[in-house]
Amino acid sequence: MIVIRDGEDVPQGARGGVFAIGNFDGVHRGHKALISRAVAEARETGRPAGVIVFEPHPREFFHPEEPHFRLTPLAEKLRLLEQLGLDLVVVLEFNREFASRTAASFIKDILVGWLGVSHVVIGYDFFFGQKRAGTPETMQLAGQEAGFGTTIVAQQAEDGEVFSSTAIRLHLAQGDVAGAALQLGHRWRVAGVVTSGQRLGRELGFPTANIELPPATALMHGIYAVRVLSGGNWYGGAAYLGGRPSVDAGPVRLEVFILDFDGDLYEKDIAIEFVAFVRGDRRFDSLEALKEQIALDVERVREMLRDAGDSSSDCVSSS
């Protein structure tokens, strides 16, 4: 999959493609409906299939003072998009100049002039251009004049629940990672470099790998059953997110005890995939009481992973 950014030349073979356009935060099932339509159209017409995304998220640009919980930072978004059969991704920088671009200019200069699109696929609620003046109907009419096709995809839902990034954030804020996974069509994951901690977990008999999360990450604090990807292998794990009220009530951190693992992950990249919620965060009167609860949590995590088909022994496999 080719990634093209602002100002870069578009390879000749990439021009004339079919593009789905959107923020695609989470790459959830609603997004996948758009992308699958684009891929199908591209395969039918023998053209490259692509998506156009915006970086940073427009909300981050317009409201930098308000922390925005991104479900998928760009690297994770690209990983998910690559799994959907796309040939290319265009990453447009959402800056002051771009925000002031009119809808007509976006179509003429970027879609037609730069990319030479043959067809675009957008959602029913896609608004674009300065002051969001461009609508799906605007795109459709412009396409008729400029010679490209437009597909407008209706709202996507299941059992009365609309697929949306907002709904997924609400699920995660309540610790409902299983509900978020149903909306996403895959389990929500985070990734980062393992940092050093205070080694309290090792003293308690449960050494952890710690990674820093963006401050806006609004996942409910508590214990989770997770899968951990490290060195090309998956492992089961028990993850804790919180401020450690039983110890020092410090900054929020994500700590993961990896089941049946013996190794040093310091300064290595890992990914953590959330499978199930175990319990909420709470304070314990002593470290001994905390240790006993952690042992119970780990056993519960093993059960949950087995029930989900992701037991520790099953997880240790090549990715």
Give the rounded distance of the alpha carbon of 67 from its chain centre: 16
On whether residue 73 sits in a domain, the answer given is yes
On whether residue 182 sits in a domain, the answer given is no
State the pairing for strand pair 88-93/49-55: parallel
Yes or no: say if 174 and 260 are a contact pair by the CB < 8 Å rule. no
Mean pLDDT of 147-169: 96
255, 216: one domain: yes
95, 200: one domain: no
On whether residue 167 sits in a domain, the answer given is no
84, 225: one domain: no
The residue type of 100 is: S
Q: What is the pLDDT of residue 313?
A: 43
Domain that residue 34 falls in = 2-158
Q: What is the pLDDT of residue 12?
A: 85
Yes or no: say if 103 and 128 are a contact pair by the CB < 8 Å rule. yes
53, 102: one domain: yes
Distance in angstroms (rounded) separating the CA atoms of residues 249 and 243: 5
254, 305: one domain: yes
Q: Which of 136, 158, 180 is the last residue of a domain?
A: 158
Pick 197 or 18 by higher pLDDT. Answer: 18
221, 103: one domain: no
Q: What is the pLDDT of residue 92?
A: 97
Query: What are the pLDDT digits (tens) for 207-234?
Result: 899 999 988 999 999 999 999 999 999 9
pLDDT band at 4 (very low <50, low <70, confident <90, very high): very high
State the pairing for strand pair 253-258/233-242: antiparallel
On whether residue 60 sits in a domain, the answer given is yes
Nearest to 101 by CA among 140, 136, 128, 139: 128
Q: What is the pLDDT of residue 163?
A: 97
Q: What is the pLDDT of residue 65?
A: 86
Number of structural domains found in the chain? 2
